[in-house]
Every structure is written in structure tokens, then in C-alpha cells.
Structure 1
Amino acid sequence: MPYDVAAVRAHFPALLEGAAHFDGPGGSQTPDVVAMAVADTMTAAVSNRGAISVAERRAEQVVQEARAAMADLVGLEPQGIVFGRSATDLTFMLARTLSAGWGPGDEVVVTRLDHDANVRPWVLAAEQSGATVRWADFDPASGELHADDVRAVVTERTRLVAVTAASNLIGTRPDIPVIAEVAHRVGALLHVDGVHATAHVGTDVPGSGADFWVCSPYKFLGPHLGVLGARPEALEPLRPAKLLPSSDAVPERFELGTLPYEMLAGITAAVDFLADLGELGQGSDARELRTRRERIVDSYAALEAHEDELLAWLEPRLRALPGVTLYSNAARRTPTLLFTSESRAPQEIRVALAAQGINAPAGHFYAWETSHHLGLGSVGGVRVGLAPYTDHTDVERLVDALEPILRTASAR
């Protein structure tokens, strides 16, 4: 399926400001259709969900459509989709709920490749329950986290394994189905941080073997919310802390308070946009002949091909720049590159690029353990992330700007 990046870019008003955006891993830009869906819902009559008034029914419809959209995106049933303020918030909620059944002698496995949102909730929950934390290390030279690295620390006492589907810092994509087998072989659950991966790679939660999968729609063109996905039967035994009168049904029992209906409408619009991503500008007549899930699978294949092509052009040019060290070296990666320079500090590079309208942020990006394991401490590096709207002009601007910046030694 051809990918018309110009047709994609035409839907992003933010791009009219002229910046080249490589900051997508921290949050993507927003298509016009998503903004309009949010605005339309906010300006329509909406109330608490119900079945009597038009406003009640509209709220209920918005929620159910958003569940169905996210279910199509990740390959689950709508009843397995939980909405929350953020992926971090949902992970803390799940950690508190699951750890209520842990005690001394139990173990939880976390990795040094993960964003702290998939580390600290489990570490704190283990401390409070008396369970033991075991760490799976990755190879800092290659950036690889192998299933054997996880297998080495899993025991018969492991209750849960927490791992990322893709590193938000260096892009590494571990083999989640094999890690799922490692966890399930000892009866442990597998919690996957899919925040970074879901923006770049077609997601099939059942096929991955994950018991729980969290992601953030604002990383893939949607509003600022978090989503937890699981099989409904995996959620059914769990009893989170909740208000007494609130629903005890799955998934509502995990959602605290009234949902932000306008943001949910934006999620549906974002998923619909992603489903059509590969056909924008193509004038296809086949849209109605396929389900949304089928279109999503095809669109992500087109997106991956587009981003891979740009990465294949950009990466060797970054590696060839004087004094640059690239830390994104794994065989399977998202289009995310982290680098440092001998001549300039990461924040200096970031500021110099921003002055030319190129947004490539610097830091550890909350991948605290990863950055320290790479020897970058709390400083981190410069992160370059590609997105659905990135084109060749953007990457050429980046390379052309970096060369003179890196040739100029730091004045410190």
C-alpha cells in the first residue's frame, strides 16, 4: 500500500508553524479531525451516561465508540479496554490491585530497558507487600534485551514480569511473545508497556501473549489519556479500590470518576485516522469492504515501511557525523535514535536545533534505569523520533543543521 506523506501532513495544522518535529516520542502532533471531534463533543449536549435523555445517550455512545476503537487498534474486545488519566496512573492502579495478593517470598521482575512508569509502580508495590524485586539487564552495547535476560531472573516465585514493547529512549523492541512464554511457564502475569510501541508498530495484544497492555493515545495522534487493555476474563478477578456506589462491572470498576467524554471522542477520531492512514490521498473504493481492524493492520504496515525508509536514510548520516555516539543499535527497533556528541552537551544541541525550527529534545525521558545503564546518567542524550507526518525534508533539515552545530566546540 503506497503511503502519501503529503496527504497525511495536510491534516496537521501544527505543521503550518514550520517546525520539523522529531519530538513525537514525547507526544505526537494532532490531526485536524481529532481536534474537531473533541470540540464537537464539548459543544454538544453531554451529561452523565444514561439511556433517557439525548445528552445521556450521547455520553454513553461516546464511551462505547471509544472502547470499540481502542479494541480494534490493539486487537482486543471492547470490554477489555480501561480508560485512565495516563498510562502511568493506570499502571500504579494495577500494581496496587495486584500486589494486594503478594507477600514475602513472592517476586516481581522489572527491566532496566523500561520507562520508569513500568518500573517504579512495581518496585513500590513490592516494597509495600514484602515481595522481592528482581532486575533483568539489557546489553548496553547492542541495546538488546533478550528473553534469556528475563529468563535468568524468573523463578517459580515470580508473580509478575513487567517489560516494555519498545524502549522510549533507544527504540529497542524485545521479543514479547517469547518473554510471555517465559513468564507464563512459571505462572506469572506479563504486564507490557506499549506506550512507545503502539505509535509505530501494529499491535496484537492476544498475539503478544501479554496479560496487560498499557498505551497512551497522545503518542499516536490522539488526546492526553491512558488506556489499559486486557482480556475481560483477566480483569474479572481483580478488585481495585473504588467508590461504593460506582459500577462493579468490567471495565467500569477500574475507571475512577466521570470519564472525559470529549477526550474519548478524540480517541475514536485518532483511531479512525490511523485506520485510513495508508489510504489518504489514494481515493480508494475498498474502505467499506474491510473492517476497521483490517484497515488498521494495513495502515500500520504502510506506516512502518514509511518510517523504515526515512530511518534508513537518516541513521547512517547521523552515525557519520563527527564525534557522534549512537545508542540505538538493536536489530528490531522503532524509528527512534538517541545520540550524544563529544563536542556539545545534549541540551546545547537541543537549543541550537530549536533555534532553527527543529524540535529534537534531550534528556533521559523518564527512562531512568536505561539512561544510567548506558552510562548517560541523568543527562541522557538527544532523541530523534520519526512520526507519521515526518518527511524527507524534515530529516534533511535535521542532518544539515547538525553538521555545523557539532563542528562548533562547546564554549564551556
Structure 2
Amino acid sequence: MKTIKDAVIIGAGASGLFAAAEAGLRGRRVVVLERSATMGNKIRVSGGGRCNFTNLNITADNYISPNPSFCKSALAVFTPDDFIQLAERYGVRYYEKEHGQLFCKGSSGEIISMLRRRCEEAEVTIIYNTKVHDIAKRGDVFVIVTSNGIFHCSSLCLATGGISYPQLGATPFGYRIAAQFGLKVNPTRSALVPFVFNAEDGTNYDGLAGISIEAVVTCNKMDFRGGVLLTQRGLSGPPILQASSYWRTGDYISINLMPVTDAYEFLLSRRKQKADLHNILIFPKNFARRWCEVHSYMKPVNQYNDNELHEIAAQLHNWKLFPAKTEGYKRAEAVTGGVDTGELSSKTMEAKKVRGLYFTGEVIDVTGQLGGYNLHWAWASGYACGSCM
């Protein structure tokens, strides 16, 4: 069976559904092909099930990309206010959690329902359980061979996502199609992902899982503040996830355990105390004792001289760790890498070398920080594509 449409979008995720609705509302005949049985699988689990759908403070600085300016055009055309107005129109209840992060008051299902309704209004056809076997271009027409028939279209959008969360159906399909059409695809790495301790640190900090410490984490000159969570295998928590996007194998991370207190002045004010050092530190007791044991700071405070107090303070402000690796794609909330931005128009997301071929969302080498930035990139890039495809 052959179906002729103006536009075919592969992937019923955030960017794909957004692009489909925009194109359909322009009068384009659109079909979305989805390999799973449901839409918006990553949306459903995002934000702990409440969907951190955008951030009030979005700038290009919140994104990692080979071309830091690539995302500027799409972000300027479709802003957080634009999405908020859309959400309010469809009755999505939301609240600001912290640092401009907006979440659904109910569940992420409200965002999925909004996208479904928009696609229905735009008369977009969504076909589930569809595996794409082959894509070719004959003249100006794309021919997509699938398990549910053959589709012809003049505009084709790959909204297939990255390869984080493979358990939700993520695959490298979009990268393969880009390469097939001669586009450069940059190597991928897991991002927004917990770290795994090296063997020594794994032994040193074993048994402390569940302890959280307010700290500032630095990696390759990028600083992030928040709760650092010790896990059974290493470190997690918002600042750790943020740092992981900038980390490479062999790099160290620095943790400032006392970000709002001068550690030396703190120690100096208590230097006459006979209590052991770990008993005066303002951390959970188990962690304080273990950290002092690992660093061989086991004397009473009044037995340390000035040089030693300076050394301890320096360690508290600059606890260096060399992670062995990250938890990988299965635990990653995003990936870096993907279709190189130099291959695409920043205004339309169309491939420069292949007329009518578009890419949106995470399949592009643009990665947002934690806090709603990746989903907003899905909306902005989907809008840019859907407005012209």
C-alpha cells in the first residue's frame, strides 16, 4: 500500500509531535510514524513524571553544541512564554519549582494530552507500531518503506531522539539516516548522568549511599550548585548530572563541600575544641567521619597547627575526585553528539545538502543543561521545522 503525504515525521516524541502539529496547522498533510505503541515515552518519565517542560531563564549558554550560536535563532522564535501560553490554552496546570523550572502540577500526561489534541486539530495521522525498513529519495520525493506500507512525501523529518534511555525505545536510527544522506554525525556520549567511583574511592566511600550534601561541583570550568548524592556506585544529584555533560574520561571533578562558608575561618573559630575534626564538620556524621578517615584527619581540632588547618580548608573547598566512568546511556537523561549543526539550517532545521530533509530535537548535536532546557529545545526546533516543512 502506498500513501502520499506532504510531510512524514519519524518519531512521536516531543519535537516530532510539535513539528507535526505546526505543519498540519499550516494545511500540510502530515503523518507521524512511531515504532512503539504510544506517543511521548520520554515526556512521560521526564521530571519524575511531572514533566519539567521549559525554563523561564533560557539562553544559548544553557546548551552544549559544536556551534554555540546554532540554537539562538530557534530559541528566539519560540520562547518559554510561547510555550506557557500554549499550555495555558490547553488547560495545563503548572508551577515554578526553582531556578525558573516549570513543572506540571498534575502529571506529564497533561503535556502529552496537549500534543495529542493539537495533532488532532491539525488533522495529523499518527501510526504506531511502525518499523521503518528503508528510506530513499527519488528526485524530490522521499520513499519510506515501513512495516505498515510505503509512504511518499516531499518533506521528511527525523525526530528520532538520541540514544539515552534505550529501555524506552531509543535507537541510533536517526544518526544512521543522516549518515546515509552524507551528513556528518558527531560521536555521542551520555550526558546528565551519574558518575561511577574509581576502585579506590568506591572502597573509601562504600556504605554511604543515600547521603546528600549541599555543594558546588566544578568540571572543566563549569560550576553547578545543589545536593550531591552518594550512591551505591558513585555520585548523583543535580550538580553531578550537570557536570557529567562537560566531563571526559580521565577528567577530575572538584567538589566544594562548604560553598557558602570560609572553611579556614570556620576551623579557626573552633581550633581550641578537643573534639575530633569529624565531629565539628557540618555534614552528615557518617560522611564526615569517613571523609576525615580517607584524608587522615583524625586528630582533635586543638592539635592542628595553622598550616594543617589551611590544608584541611583547601581540601574542603576542593575535594578532587577522578570518576572511573558514568552510568552510561541507560541512566543518562540526554546525550551529547549527533547530527552536526553545520549540516543544518539554524532557522528551519533543514539539511543543507538534502532539500526536504529535516532533523529536530535530541538527534541534533545540541544538548541542554538540566532544568527543562532539553524539552524546550524539542519545542523550539520542532516549531522551526514545522513552520516551514
Q: Which structure carries more strand by proportion?
A: 2
Instruction: Tell me if TM exceeds 0.5.
Output: no
TM-score (norm 1): 0.24
From the CA coordinates, give the structure whose radius of gyration is larger: 2
